[in-house]
Structures are given as C-alpha cells and as structure tokens.
Chain A
Amino acid sequence: MSKTAIIIGGGAAGMETASQLARLGIEVDLIEKQSRLGGHLNSWDRLFPNRRDSKEVSEYLELGMNDGISLHMNTEIDDIRMAGERFTLALRDGNELYSDALVIATGYEVFDARKKEEYGYGIYDNVITSVELEEFFRNNKQKNLFEGIQSKRVGIVHCVGSRDEKAGNLYCSKLCCVTGVKQAIEIKELMPDAEIFCFYMDLRMFDRHFEEMYYEAQEKWGIQFIRGRLSEASENPDHTLLVKLEDTLTGLPLKMKIDLLILLVGFVPSPETQRLAAMLGLKEGDDRFLCAADEHTSTNSTAIPGVFLAGTVKGPAGIANTITDARSTALQVAAYLK
C-alpha cells in the first residue's frame, strides 16, 4: 500500500505543501476547518512589496489543487493517535483518517487588540486594526470608513501586541512594519489630501524592496514617520481621537488629534496550533510558536518522526516565505515517505 500524508490546515502553507506532494505522486488529505481554502490570504488586498493583487497568489495556489488531493472542508480534529509509524486522526464528524506522515500547517491568528485597552479598540469608534483596513480595501464594503472624516488625519500604530511584555508577547511579528508602510501608501492613494502618520519604535524593513518602499513612502507619498510609542489614546467629544506619545527624536511629549487610528496587530500562534501541539507533544518555544527539529538545518521536521511543520506555525512569516517553506516541507515529507 502506498504511503499517504495528511496536511492539517488549508492556508497558503497547507495548499502549497499539498500541491507539491501531489506533483510528486503522493496521496494527500488536506483538512481545513473553514469552508474555503486560503486562510488569511483571503483577507488581504494587495501584497507587499510590490502591492500586487493577492487574488493572483490565491489563484496560483488553487491551481495546484488537483485530483491527488482529497479535500476535507469544514472538518475539525478531535484526536490524533500514533501507532508505530501510522497516524490515526479522529475527526469531529466521527470519521477517521489514516496516514504515514502529518504536516501541521494550522497557521496563526492576529493579536486581539482589545487587550491593549489603552488604545481604545472596541471602545472608541475610530480605532480599527490593519486586518480590518485590509478587508475594507479588498471588499470596499465599509465605504463609510473614510466618509465624514473631516481633516483626514490617519495614524498608524506599530508594534501592537508585539515586542510588548505587557501583552505577553516579547517577539517581533516581523511583517507589521512593512504592512504599515504599505497601507500608509494605499490610504494616501485613496485620499491624496490626507495626512498619514506612522508611530513606530523601529522600522523593520528587512526584506528585498522593503527599504525602498519606505523611501518611496517618504519621498513620493509624504507619509510622516514619528518615532514614539503611543501610551494612550482618548476620545474627543466629536469621536476623533487624541493620541499621546513621546516624540523621542526631539525628546518632547507630543499629543495630536487623529481621525482614524489603525493598529498594526501582530501574530500570535493560533489556538488550533497549540491544541494540536499539546496532542502530539510538540515542543513550543517561549513565544508559544512551534519548534522545528533544528533551527538552521531542519526547519520543516520536528522531533517526532513523521510530523512536519509548514508556514506560520513556526512564527511570523510573509506569503512569499510561507510558500517557499511549504515546498521545502513537501520535499522533506516525500523523502521520509520513500
């Protein structure tokens, strides 16, 4: 009987791992708890650094979903048992699936901004997250997001829920800075006479073309960058916001009226990732993301033979890196199954 693999999670990582494995002739079961594939990719409008349409990437991933892949949508896992080299997955609907290899690609969630109470998310009207902004751009359904905003001052807050001991997350979520700069440019495109401010601690423009995007944001689009971390935001009677921070580069406290505040929320490991990790006994780091077998040389396998990792279960990562990582996982799985 030929060996099979089960991939848990139908986001970018899961989809790409599945399609690569199918190409190599391996039977794959792909389990997804929602009713559609794509994961967070479905929420994004345009991807950095070139601001191309995310639907193009979604289409590419969809292309790989061929007959060699059995899709199990709306499916959740109750239990996983390991016997020798076989895995038995007990599904919520009562069925069981078997395989010789398991890929965990259950991804991440974004930080719940309500935990940063002092920024007013969920309390004041005009505070939204970067995810909500992205969804607005994609669906344009919240047209009133910018309607009625008088002086059109938009503030973008970096590091919300990341690099923050008080939020329980010491790590940097990597991608929020470039997201913030990208969204700043996109808002400016939409509202050319708006004033856009990025309130940052550092600007992590680490990948190719990121630094150039920052340059473009300043030179071409006039985005203003203020180095200071908001201590609190309060609401004015007219529902505009008053933000307080220190302008560290001048060394003076600064307060400013803002019409719309956008919080760049970071990555947190998804509860599903943690639940599966507990079931399988997978090692978690201090940041609660999963640990691969070796940080440099085996970033796709785990200490448990037959259990592999792909994508953001290991930590914050962008779409490009996730797809590359998924291909690497597929190769490891194929080699293991031989």
Chain B
Amino acid sequence: MTFNLFVLPFILGFIFLLFSLVKKNREWIHKMDSTDRKKLNNGLRSPRLFLALREIFFESLLHRKMFRRNPLLGYMHMSFAFGWLLLILFGNMESRIYSGFWINPPYYPIFLKFFIHDKHVLPFEIFTVPGFFRFSMDLLLVFVLSGLVLAIIKRSRSKWFGLKKTTQLQFTDKVAMTCLWLIFPLRLLAESFTAGAYGYGGGFVTQHLGNVLAFVWPLSDKAVAYSFWWMYSLSLGIFFVTLPYSRYMHIPTELILILYRNFRIYPKKGSEYFSEIEVLSCPRCGVCIDVCQMNTAAGIHDIQAVYFLQSIRNQQVMEHITTRCLVCGRCQEICPVGIHADFQRIVQRESFQKLQVQDYSYLIQESTRKAEVVYFAGCMSHLTPTIPGAMKKILDIAGVDYLFLDEERSVCCGRPLMLAGKSSQAQKLVEQNKRKILDSGANTLVTSCPICFRVFREEYQLDIRILHHTQYLLELIKKGKVPLQAYFRKIAYHDPCDLGRGSGIFNEPRELLRKIADLVAIGNEGKDSLCCGGSLGLLNAGTEEKNRITKETLANYLEGDPEILVTACPLCKKTFAKLSPVEVMDIAELVMEAIPK
C-alpha cells in the first residue's frame, strides 16, 4: 500500500507550486516581444542550452561564484541546493529498487522510509545496490543538515560569515524560512523514529539515532513516528505554498534567468517581463548590502539592491529608494545571480518621470567643419580645463586632424537625463550631438568623459570608432606619434565607475600608465573599484553623505601611499581634488607631463 493521508499536504503544496510556476512562465513568454521569443526558440534548439545547464549546475547548485568570495557561505548554499537535489535524485533511484516501477507517484521517494522497511540491508553496507543507496541517503541528509546549522548560525552571527549586515526578512520570508529549516530535521526525526520503532530499515545515522530514541523515550512507537511524518509533510506543503510569495521564488526563477541569459536575452527598455524575472530571482542573500557605499560610508541602510528589488515585488516602490543610489554597479558586479540592479533602478526612475517633459527646441542646427577625429570633452571638462588643455596639446603634437566639438559650448551628451529616468527626453540632445558628429565626417570619436563614452557606445548608434581618451592616447603612443620621457613613481589609478565596470575598460589605462609610471597596487581594483561619490546617478543625497563616500574611497587609495592619484574622468577628478591630500591628475595631464619639452 503506497498511499497514506499524511502525504496530502505535500501533494497539494506541490501541485499548487507547479501550477504557479507554469502560470508565471506562460505569462512571461506571452509578454516577450518577437525578438526575444525568437531568441528563446533558437536557444532551446542550440548548444547554448547545454551552456545554460552547465551554468545552472555550477552556479545554482555548486554556487561557484559565491565559493570564491566566501567559502563558508558558498558551502552553506551548496549544501542546501545541491544536497537537496541529490536527495531527490538518489531517492528516486532508491524507490525504483523497491517499487519495481520506473514511474512512481512523486511523494513515494520523499516518504520512502515510511512505506519501506528493508530488514535485509544493514546500515553500513555500502557495496550492495540497496546498501549503497541507504548509506548515501543518510550521508546526503547529514550534508544538508550541516548547511542548515551554518544557516542558523548566520542569522545571528553574520559577522562570522564575513557579512557585516544581513537582510532583514519579511513575514512570508520568515514563514517560508521556518518551514524550510524544519523540513530536514523533521525528515531526520521521522526516519529515525520509524527505524527505531521497527528496529531496522534505517541508515547509518537514522538507524542509530532511532535506536537511541527508542531507548530514551520508551513510549515511542509507530504512532509517534507517524506524527513526525505528518509534520514533515506539512512543512514541505507549507513551504511549497509560501514559496511563490517569498524569497525562495528565486530558486525556480533563477533557472529561467540563467536560461534566458545564455540565450542572449537581456534586460532592455520595454521588457517588463524581464524586470519581473530579475526581481523574483533575488535570493535576498544580502551580499549587495556590504558592498554598497551608501551603506558603508554614508550610513544609509534602506536603499540597497535587495531592498529595492523587494520594494518592487511588494509594489511599494518609494521614490527615494530609486533616487538615493550611486548607480555605480558594485551591487550588480557582486550579485551571484547576475541581476542588473542598476538597470532596474533606472527603469523605476523612468516610471516616476513619465509626465514631466523637457523642451529643447532652442537647440538649433549648427554646421560643423570636417575632420578625421572628433574630440568631445564633455560638460564637466569645462570645469577641469587641464584635461582638454592637455588633450589639445597632445593631439597637436601627434599631428591629428581633430575637431574639438564642444570647445565653445557643449550640448550635454544626454546620459545625465537618462540616469534621472528621462531617457525619452534625452533624444533631442542625442540627435543634436549625433548630427554634428556625423556631419564632421570623422571616423573616430574620442571623449574625455566616461559618462559620455558610455552613452555614445550604448545609445547613440554611431558607426564610427568610439574611444575614451585613455584608449586613444595609448594608440597614439603605440604608433610612435607621442614621444615620452619622464617617469613617475608611485601613482595609484582610480577606475571611474562608467569606464571600468560600466564599459569594461580596465586594461588600456593601466597599459598606458605603465609606460610612464609605477602603479601602486591597491585593494578594490578593477571590477571591485570604489566610487568617487560625485556620481550623477545619485539624484538625492546631502553633501556630508557624498563627502563620506569620497573619503572612504580615498582612504583605499592612500593605503598604497601614492604620490599622485590618477583618474580618467573629470567628475572624479573634481570630486577627489576637494578632499584629497595627494595631488589628483587625469591621465591626459600625466601624459602631457611625460612628454619632453
């Protein structure tokens, strides 16, 4: 007889969960546009499907990225995810041995030890097939329980896990988490009590634990064991039912996210469904809290990516949660699931800006002269005249035929508007600049400002080469057009957020600098670099808060005791210069100094 009333909570919960997931997925596919749907269809029939499965195995199960950051955290998550999956797999295989059927009701392997009491297998018998499975199931259960112990400790002593702050949980999260935490201890107890009551049928842990329980608690008999099977089933059932409303929704959603990502489906304007997938994929692990400088430097604790995504999920997005963010990309970088928190932040900003129009009809068409290279210094460079000044001199020395497009007055590149959630309003500015650039007939666009650089590359749809000045200067130097002589000792290089994490340009500035200086090694380099605090993405913060962020970042560089702090962005330069005890220079200035007179 392979049915009992107690399996009902499990079955009902399981069916409910299955239905919810199918419904949600159908909704998402329905909301896709034709490009994304095509990508999905193509992807499912291509080798990328295996790449996706591979990523699922390494990230969702083994948590490889997290292991690299923090082995203890990685082990904890892995033991739950991988351990539980193995329990299910091995459990299914074990149940085939006893039922003789390839297809069993889904609850059968889960509650196998209630239905089957095999007295012919001993607890430590590994080399027979049933013995191997008996042993493995117990081993896997211990594996999962070890992770559970760590998870419980992490809730109260997160510092031991390298997390200074861990996520504050909501009510549904607490219910789901409690049930999740109860599942495996209850399974252990149910199996043990049963093994103890029968005197056989358990594994090397469950049998011996069962024997102890039977000895210590003489009343124990099959009725007590039965109550534990009920509790086990209930905890599973309630967990399944609350899962879609809790953080654990990330388990199924993450798989979809990885799949879509491997099929080259990315968040883009208008793909609301993708935003929803990303929001639900957030496991609320909290690693984004500690890397956020609004938290560590400015003491603002309610806007980090995890809380932001949570507010979207609860449909309670408050404007200040969208505006008080540096949009620096640090949370996006560290997210083990790969959620594009920055992108979602701007999407939410757009929703607050819908009705507010701009009027740029005062921009008139202007003619541009022809040149091979267009140099666009960017608005901020007017306030750091050394940068365009140095660029002009270097370009002259290299004999480049260039047009300094915004020498007299600049039309903003448009990215600050986009960061404020007004990207449709920015189009007029984009058109104005684009027309001037194309009219010049140039084949290369060089800019000093990473903010402009990023928007030129991502939004302007220009067919010409687009380079940041660090890249262009390196090119000129390699071609021998710029003679270098002087050499500087001990400089530290700051990766601007929009150039480094935002555009992936880490190596060229460093290669350029190594030709003229000794780079000092610092913590938080490259992808981990800190934000200067001058962010145009931060719409709403006090001067004191921004200064604290600047100071925190400066302290990081000063540890290496550099003589000069070198950066590649006029806004970073101005922001650091305010508080830096060492000199702050742009790369272009440094190159200028290195040229023999």
Contacts and interface: CB of A to CB of B under 8 A. Distances in A.
Interface of A: 115, 117-118, 120, 123, 165-168, 231-232, 234
Contacts of B384: 117-118
A167 B543 CA distance: 13
Nearest to B570: A117
Interface string B378-410: 000011111001000000000000000000000
Interface of B: 382-386, 389, 543, 574, 577-579
A249 B41 CA distance: 67
Nearest to B389: A123
B473 to A, nearest CB: 19
A232 B377 CA distance: 15
Given A117-B386, A117-B577, A168-B579, 5 more contacts: A115-B577, A123-B385, A165-B578, A166-B574, A168-B578
A120 B388 CA distance: 12
Contacts of A115: 577
Contacts of A123: 385-386, 389
A117 to B, nearest CB: 5
A244 to B, nearest CB: 9
B385 A232 contact: yes
B383 A117 contact: yes
A118 B578 contact: no
A330 B256 CA distance: 80
Contacts of B577: 115, 117
Nearest to B577: A115
Contact of A165 (B383, B389, B543): B543
B579 A118 contact: no
Contacts of B383: 117-118, 231-232
A123 B586 CA distance: 14
Contacts of A232: 382-383, 385
A166 B578 contact: yes
Contacts of B386: 117, 123
A166 B571 CA distance: 12
B578 A120 contact: no
Residue of A117, A118, A231 most packed against chain B (CB within 10 A)? A117
13 contacts: A115-B577, A117-B383, A117-B386, A117-B577, A118-B383, A118-B384, A123-B385, A123-B386, A165-B578, A166-B574, A232-B383, A232-B385, A234-B385
Contacts of B578: 165-168
A234 B404 CA distance: 15
Contacts of B382: 118, 232, 234
Contacts of A168: 578-579
Instruction: Give 6 closest A-B pairs by Cβ, nearest first.
Output: A118-B383, A117-B384, A168-B578, A166-B578, A123-B386, A232-B382
A222 to B, nearest CB: 31
Nearest to B573: A117
A117 B385 contact: yes
Contacts of B574: 117, 166
Contacts of A165: 543, 578
Contacts of A231: 383
B105 to A, nearest CB: 71
Contacts of B543: 165
B362 to A, nearest CB: 15
A117 B578 CA distance: 11
Contacts of A117: 383-386, 574, 577
B536 to A, nearest CB: 16
A168 B384 CA distance: 17
A316 B382 CA distance: 32
B383 to A, nearest CB: 5
A100 to B, nearest CB: 35
Nearest to B407: A234
A329 to B, nearest CB: 30
Nearest to B384: A117
B592 to A, nearest CB: 11
A123 B389 CA distance: 9
B152 to A, nearest CB: 46
A167 B389 CA distance: 22
A4 B578 CA distance: 42
Contacts of A120: 385
Nearest to A233: B385
Nearest to A122: B386
A120 B387 CA distance: 12
A120 to B, nearest CB: 6
B103 to A, nearest CB: 73
A117 B389 CA distance: 12
A123 B386 CA distance: 7
A231 B543 CA distance: 19
A266 to B, nearest CB: 15
Residue of A118, A120, A165, A167 most packed against chain B (CB within 10 A)? A118
A220 to B, nearest CB: 37
Nearest to A118: B383
B563 to A, nearest CB: 16
Residue of B385, B574, B578 most packed against chain A (CB within 10 A)? B385
B554 to A, nearest CB: 12
Contacts of B389: 123
A232 B574 CA distance: 14
A289 to B, nearest CB: 18
A268 to B, nearest CB: 13
Contacts of A118: 382-385
A267 to B, nearest CB: 18
A120 B382 CA distance: 11
A234 to B, nearest CB: 7
Nearest to A170: B543
A118 B578 CA distance: 13
A167 B56 CA distance: 51
A166 B385 CA distance: 16
Contacts of A167: 578
Nearest to A168: B578
A225 B102 CA distance: 95
